[in-house]
Amino acid sequence: MQELDTPTFRLAVAQFDQAAEAMGLDPNLRERLKLPQRSLVVSLPVRMDDGRVEVFTGYRVQHDSSRGPSKGGVRYHPDVNLGEVAALAMWMTWKCALAGLPYGGAKGGVAVAPKQLSPAELQRLTRRYAAEIFPLIGPDKDIPAPDVGTDAQIMAWMMDTYSQQVGYAVPGVVTGKPLSIGGSLGREEATGRGVVYVTHEVLRHLKLSLDGASVAIQGFGNVGSHTARIMHEHGARIIAVSDVNGGLYSNKGLDITALLRRDPSQPLHESKLGDAITNEELLQLDCTVLVPAALSEQITANNANSLRCRILSEGANGPTTLEADRILADKGIFVIPDILANSGGVIVSYFEWVQDLQRFFWSATDIQDRLHDIITSAFQRTLHFSTERRVSMRMAALMSGIDQVAQAHLQRGLYP
């Protein structure tokens, strides 16, 4: 499909092909799993505050539902396209399977710059998008969640729009909602906390400590900011952080508390809380842990040789190309692949969904303990697989996830 032929989708398929070849996956299954099960492209006419109508394009892609309802975020970003959404849906399938969650992967998005819309325009866009994808979503079919450019308020509008359509409140149709309408404690910080838990396990494996470790984080949105905060609380020295406009550096460690207190609309480099640094310079810093927590394909063949971290913990989806992977392996950098490192978000989304279905809610301690158990168990399984099969951590994670999905397909059979 020509619409899917984007760099991000090509990366996802290339990773899949490499893993499928290594595991000798049935050729029939291989062809099926390369393409999404279902894709929807929608036009979203929205009345702007000045009275004119602007038409946006939205997407919802379900990659696989062999193991249960599909699950995945909704991204608001100008560069959203069908290929990117399909790639993210595929990665979600492997991520859920690797963590042992009863989900398939999905993803959605709208090609829009959300910060350029007023709150009223953003609400109208969100409600129209939710109404257009209404036939695909539901607590037993497909459960959206926040992603780049979306948050708990966006999820609240989506939940309300769906509920208005069916005539009663359905909290379980989305996750990442406010607590007042069925959200879960610990959901907002879940991806960042998961990054910290897995990174801590790798440091222990390498006989290193998080206390005193130097950490550089590319991206200071939801994932990056919570990763920075929690690592700082555990004694790590956060030497650099960045946003889309650039970032800050201090070898002594940045004042993360002050950074989190600043006006979030202010670019990081304008806060004067450290020395100005570019995103490219951040990736090349000498540090114990590098966390790419921005967008895809940030680490490529052009800059991978310049990385000087000991551990690469992928907070973002698809931040490293296949060519860069080979270079990092030659350099001896321990890569924690995205489908493992950033799986904390979907794990706690699963907890939220379960709580909504049961109408029974857990404490923050329960959430953190269960997240820790699931994500560290997934890491230990992946590490064992990597060591036993002599493959990279990325291939180990992908092969483990793909195998779970393949088994589900083989056991269910082919209809009709």
Q: Which residues are catalytic?
A: 107
For 99, the token pair is: 């963590």
Q: Which residues are paired to 248 by β-bridges?
A: 241, 276
Backbone phi, psi, residue 152, to 5°: -60, -35
What sign has the CA pseudo-torsion 364, 370, 373, 376?
negative
Q: Are 269 and 245 in contact (CB under 8 A)?
A: yes
Read out DSSP for 316-370?
A: SSS-B-HHHHHHHHHHT-EEE-HHHHTTHHHHHHHHHHHHHHHT----HHHHHHH
Ordered alpha helix ranges (H), 35-151: 82-99, 119-132
Q: Which residues contact 306 (CB under 8 A, 6 or more apart)?
A: 283, 284
* Chain center to CA of 394: 15
Q: Are 246 and 278 in contact (CB under 8 A)?
A: yes
Per-residue CA distances from 366 to 174, 342, 343 (Å): 21, 20, 17
